[in-house]
Structure 1
Amino acid sequence: MKTMEKKNIISALFVSLSIMATSCSDYLDEKLKSELAPDNTYTNSYGFETGSAGMYAIARAEYNTWGSTAFMHSAACPYESQQIATDLAVMGTKDGSIQPFGYCTLTSNTGIVTSTWKWAYSLIAAANEILAYAEKCTNWDKPTDQANYMAEARFFRAYAYRTLVYLYGDVPYVDKIQEKIHTDFTRTPKTEVIQHMIDDLKYASENLPIDPDNVSKVGKLTKWAAEHLLSEVYLMNGDNANAEKSALNVINCGYFRLMSNRFGVEKNKPGDVFSDLFKEYNQNRTSGNMESIWVMQFEYQTKGGGDAYDDWTRRAWEPKYFEIQGFTLADTLGGRGLCQLVPLKWWIGDNTGFFDANDIRNSEYNIKRNWYYNNPKTPNLLGKRCEITDETWFTTYRLYPALVKFFYGKADNLTYTGTNRDRMKFRLAETYLLLAEARLNKGDKTGASEALNVVRRRAHASEISSEQITMDVILDERIRELVGEESRRFTLCRTGKLLERCRKYNTEAGPLIQDYHVLWPIPQEVIDSNTSTEFPQNVGY
């Protein structure tokens, strides 16, 4: 498994390395003779299952920092780059890799700008390889295997192009194995790339398994993951009728429902159903969770389960409480956070009116507002409440309201950096919010409020009337429900709200963000290596 993943990494990087035209041409031209070369691997269903695992591994490593798995950004804050300079947060710990995004100073040489491009084309290359060999293979265990592996590949190819289009706009569309180094890539119009994504996802929807309880392995893609993503991509394309249709396909399929009763490993402990969604081991259907549509698989101290560098979401959001006298590291307090994303007061502060009084998403089980000293070495403080102040929140970044959904710590290793909990990528609550967005864009305010209110009812929040609903209302609801789960930059760019809401709410990036920051720059390596034809840079860079 690990050897095959390494082979997939090498082949997957082929496209991005070709685009970069690095000095590794001799290496890239090498004829692989080992038993794991594609000609020897992709000869039967088992070989394609191994290759499929490589695609899942690359996808799972989307925000990997310095890890040893399928891909790495070699930087601390790839996840944070999708959340900062939005309406959500300012920088606390100002790691060098997040500052260009928080201060809106990113350039074509910014590390994460380049590594994100490479990650996406790595996944695309892995998908293209499977597609090419699947067309030629005739030795399948089951008649449906060929279409199933091609459907997985086409899903992941669309998933990768989703990132590229959101961040860079027009990008080269590559759907074949690149047999040689190219220096003549051109930028495919965004609308054309999106149409290819739609075609891929329609194929995936038609050929992935239908029954999520009858898949070969936990975490495998189904038809409904493709339909969920297809709804979003239709929204990107301005096709609101089909976005509504795809969202309804998921909602009405009968396999999923919003969880409304306590479930899972801690259902008999203090909490609520929303907090249950984020408890370790509660993300998959095997736990009783009927809300998750696609879950990336991680497991602590398990080979192939990710490592300390894969998911730093908790480190991003949680405060450095342990640096305050009277506190010590504790898994019940979220473990070792690094406060790289400090939430803005307008949505998470007390008495702002952002949450209804009875909204469980604002309960102490989901947003920790009360912090009590826990260090027995300071008995004079032990058990007393530590007050959150403007200084602890926005000056020292040591204490502020924290998102419990990202709490993660291990008693055997309290300084552990990662979060090896399965990650819900798509869940039904978001499908309802995509439906609300599609209906609002169509002018169907009644239908939009109906979709939104399904999510609010589960949260015990008051209902929104058709007269009240706007895109800002939907975006606010996405914060309450999906903060930190979604790539906020993607959502705000899709809805055309990035500049407006950043300028309105973000005290740090708001005064700095310019119109051209809706896109990232094209990596300079790409432009410099594309010597045979012009490869224009995005405006402003």
Structure 2
Amino acid sequence: MKKIFSILAASAVLLASCSDFLDEDLKSSLSPTNTYTSTHGFEVGVTGLYEFARSEWNTWGGDDNAFTHSAATPYEVLQIGTDIAVTGHNDGTLQVFDNLSYTPLTGFIKSFWEFGYGLVSNANQILQYSEENTNWDKPTDKIGFQAEARFFRAYGYRYLVYLYGDVPYVDKVQEKFRIDFTRTPKAEVLKKMIEDLEFASAHLPEDPDKVQVGRLTKWAAEHLLSEVYLMAGMPDKAEVAANNVINSHKFSLIENRFGVRKDKEGDVFSDMFVENNQNRTAGNTESIWVMQLEYNTVGGGGEEDDWTKRAWVPKYWQLDGFQIADTLGGRGLAQLIPLHWWIDGAAFYDASDIRNSEYNIKRNWYCNNPKSDKYGKKTELTETLWKAGQLCPAITKFFYGVIDRGGDEGYGGNTKDRVKFRLAETYLLLAEAQIMQGDAEGAAESINVVRKRAHANPVTAAEVSVDFLLDERIRELVGEELRRFTLTRLGKLKERTLKYNSRAAMEDKHLLWPIPQDVINSNTGAEFPQNPGWE
């Protein structure tokens, strides 16, 4: 869908806003003092926050992007080196996260730090200038913009605390160059994140049908609050927040076929991931917050924004008898190869579970090149092809194959709108909160809501555990959740990675990423210790 507003001016404001990782360098004619003088100016600035946030996995930039990692695999490094996938691609930026050989000098170690603090810094800017401005169109404008800014500040810190642990908490614009930052305990950062999200929940719009597509509502804040409460060890409050979303009756699990392929082959689960089916305007009542990245739309995503399409699709096109086709996932690069234990495990999915159907996990590969004598013949999966990343099961959540791109077959970017929060995960967050409080019966009931939609057998309280929940999150959310974050929150990153992933010899030091070496080297005015094991 369309980007919410014109983004060019917003990007200019935000990109001019910080040097180093938190300091201001205001040189543009679109500086905050010139821009944040009216409701329209804040509309432009907040639009920039949405643009910055959706650049979280931007690869090589593009003309109008607010942020770039300047490398091909930012999304993949948050999935690899865990219990779900290894890589079948020789990209050096990914391999070091596959075999856990990254260091404080590794590019993504620094770029995710910069992404988190870039979002924080720009949110702080809006919050500060909103307190100074008196020229508002409506009395509610100020608090509304502040609510969005505080949501995004918490979203930026979410990346930082998951990846680095204790990080400097900064809630003011840093107008002078500083070399004396100190690390704030994670518990204190989480407390501040909770305050921001509670404020956002209180002041964001409640009706998702009365906001522009892609814009935040109260329920996005409540969903994220549930997760952050769990991070902070407050499962009782996490349960309340998750139930607030569920009991709002604004959202419902998709139970019937819908959208652009409802009359074609597929099922209710696969429908959610078909291009153009992500938003409420398409009939998707499950989506709580959707980042707008639709292909070939004014203000939409570009080719560099999101390469998750390439990640989960094998390099089938290297094999005799195949050619690149969007119906097969496009130009897959096998950056993430699913591990056998879950995707090939006979006991992992119930026989009736539609999340394991051919519409959702492609296991049957038929040669599609009409010029080949193999055309129409099935190529069997072998361990050799699997390890090479040339043929393996593929998660179809990241396929195209619906929209006519005027012959642009195998388009590189995955500019399908990106669902960040959906109701099925809210139920699983609720189950997590219930497990943490010893309520196995309640957790089973919450999980079974999700399993019922999937046509999977119900589970009993006796079967419920943290590991069962983590398995269920794979079945429901694989590829959507950032697996490293989930395992970190539940204290299972090392245990499950060692159990299921023989490539990743995980040690305690890998539970957190190292602090970027440049940050430590430049912060000479105060002690800034490295994370344990990375000294």
Q: Does 1:108 align with 2:104?
A: yes
Q: 1:407 aligns with which of 399, 403, 413?
A: 399
- The letter for the 1-side match of 2:483 is R
Q: Deviation string for 1:350-377 (max 9, x for gaps)?
A: x521000000000010001111001011
Q: Does 1:285 align with 2:280?
A: yes
Q: Deviation string for 1:152-204 (max 9, x for gaps)?
A: 00000001101100000000001000101100000000000000000000000
1:505 and 1:3 map into 2 onto residues whose CA distance is 45
1:30 and 1:486 map into 2 onto residues whose CA distance is 36
Partner SS for 2:230: helix
- The letter for the 1-side match of 2:389 is Y
Matches of residues 260-275 of structure 1 in structure 2 within 5 Å?
260-275=255-270
Q: 1:373 aligns with which of 351, 364, 367?
A: 367
Matches of residues 182-201 of structure 1 in structure 2 within 5 Å?
182-201=178-197
Q: 1:150 to 1:373 in 2, by over 3 A?
A: same
Residue 225 (structure 1) shift = 0.2
1:415 and 1:290 map into 2 onto residues whose CA distance is 30
2:26 and 2:485 map into 1 onto residues whose CA distance is 38
- The letter for the 2-side match of 1:301 is N
1:142 match? 138
Residue 508 (structure 1) shift = 1.2
Matches of residues 439-458 of structure 1 in structure 2 within 5 Å?
439-458=434-453
2:190 and 2:489 map into 1 onto residues whose CA distance is 13
Residue 37 (structure 1) shift = 1.9
1:435 and 1:513 map into 2 onto residues whose CA distance is 29
1:25 match? none
Q: 2:477 aligns with which of 475, 482, 491?
A: 482
How many residue pairs match? The answer is 524
Q: 1:86 aligns with which of 53, 63, 82?
A: 82
**TM-score (ref. length: structure 1):** 0.95
1:269 and 1:225 map into 2 onto residues whose CA distance is 32
2:257–2:271 CA contact under 8 A, matched in 1 = yes
Q: Which moved more, 1:517-526 or 1:415-424?
A: 415-424
- The letter for the 2-side match of 1:499 is K
2:321 and 2:471 map into 1 onto residues whose CA distance is 36
Q: 1:94 to 1:17 in 2, by over 3 A?
A: farther
1:354 match? 348
1:247–1:434 CA contact under 8 A, matched in 2 = yes
2:423 match? 428
Residue 3 (structure 1) shift = 3.4
Q: Does 1:393 align with 2:390?
A: no
- The letter for the 2-side match of 1:53 is T
Q: Does 1:534 align with 2:527?
A: yes
Partner SS for 1:421: coil
2:18 and 2:215 map into 1 onto residues whose CA distance is 23
2:365–2:378 CA contact under 8 A, matched in 1 = yes
Q: Does 1:520 align with 2:520?
A: no
1:23 match? none
1:152 and 1:51 map into 2 onto residues whose CA distance is 11
Q: 1:204 to 1:2 in 2, by over 3 A?
A: closer
Residue 314 (structure 1) shift = 1.2
Q: Does 1:59 align with 2:64?
A: no
Structure 2, unaligned runs of 5 or more: 1-5
1:296 match? 291
Q: Deviation string for 1:19-76 (max 9, x for gaps)?
A: xxxxxxxxx65654x2x22112111111111101100000000000102211100011
2:11 match? 6
RMSD across aligned C-alpha pairs, in angstroms? 1.2
2:22–2:174 CA contact under 8 A, matched in 1 = no
2:485 and 2:17 map into 1 onto residues whose CA distance is 24
Residue 411 (structure 1) shift = 5.7
2:417 and 2:59 map into 1 onto residues whose CA distance is 17
Q: 1:29 to 1:250 in 2, by over 3 A?
A: closer
Partner SS for 1:271: coil
Q: 1:13 to 1:168 in 2, by over 3 A?
A: same
Q: 1:72 to 1:270 in 2, by over 3 A?
A: same
1:313 and 1:186 map into 2 onto residues whose CA distance is 35
Residue 414 (structure 1) shift = 2.0
Q: Deviation string for 1:226-277 (max 9, x for gaps)?
A: 0000000000000000000000000000100000000011100010000000
1:258–1:458 CA contact under 8 A, matched in 2 = yes
Residue 145 (structure 1) shift = 1.2
- The letter for the 1-side match of 2:60 is W
- The letter for the 1-side match of 2:9 is M
Q: 1:15 to 1:143 in 2, by over 3 A?
A: farther
2:22–2:121 CA contact under 8 A, matched in 1 = no
1:264 and 1:414 map into 2 onto residues whose CA distance is 22
2:274–2:400 CA contact under 8 A, matched in 1 = no
- The letter for the 2-side match of 1:10 is L
Structure 1, unaligned runs of 5 or more: 19-27
Q: Which moved more, 1:37-46 or 1:397-406?
A: 37-46
Residue 15 (structure 1) shift = 6.0
2:104–2:517 CA contact under 8 A, matched in 1 = yes
1:158 match? 154
1:238 and 1:508 map into 2 onto residues whose CA distance is 31
Q: 1:401 to 1:157 in 2, by over 3 A?
A: same
1:330 match? 325
Moved over 6 A (4+): none
1:299–1:421 CA contact under 8 A, matched in 2 = yes
- The letter for the 2-side match of 1:537 is Q
Q: 2:38 aligns with which of 7, 22, 44?
A: 44
Q: 1:209 to 1:15 in 2, by over 3 A?
A: farther
Q: 1:30 to 1:484 in 2, by over 3 A?
A: closer
2:316 match? 321
- The letter for the 1-side match of 2:107 is G
2:41 and 2:169 map into 1 onto residues whose CA distance is 27
- The letter for the 2-side match of 1:112 is F
2:398 and 2:208 map into 1 onto residues whose CA distance is 26
Q: 2:463 aligns with which of 468, 490, 510?
A: 468
Q: Which moved more, 1:134-143 or 1:516-525?
A: 134-143
- The letter for the 2-side match of 1:536 is P
2:111 and 2:213 map into 1 onto residues whose CA distance is 29
1:55–1:156 CA contact under 8 A, matched in 2 = yes
2:230 match? 235
1:314–1:337 CA contact under 8 A, matched in 2 = yes
1:476 and 1:167 map into 2 onto residues whose CA distance is 22
- The letter for the 2-side match of 1:518 is L
Q: Does 1:96 align with 2:92?
A: yes
Q: 1:206 aligns with which of 192, 202, 214?
A: 202
2:466 and 2:365 map into 1 onto residues whose CA distance is 35
Q: % of aligned pairs identical?
A: 60
2:261 and 2:247 map into 1 onto residues whose CA distance is 29
1:386 and 1:415 map into 2 onto residues whose CA distance is 21
Q: 1:470 to 1:535 in 2, by over 3 A?
A: same
Q: Deviation string for 1:338-396 (max 9, x for gaps)?
A: 001100011111x5210000000000100011110010110x211111101111101x2
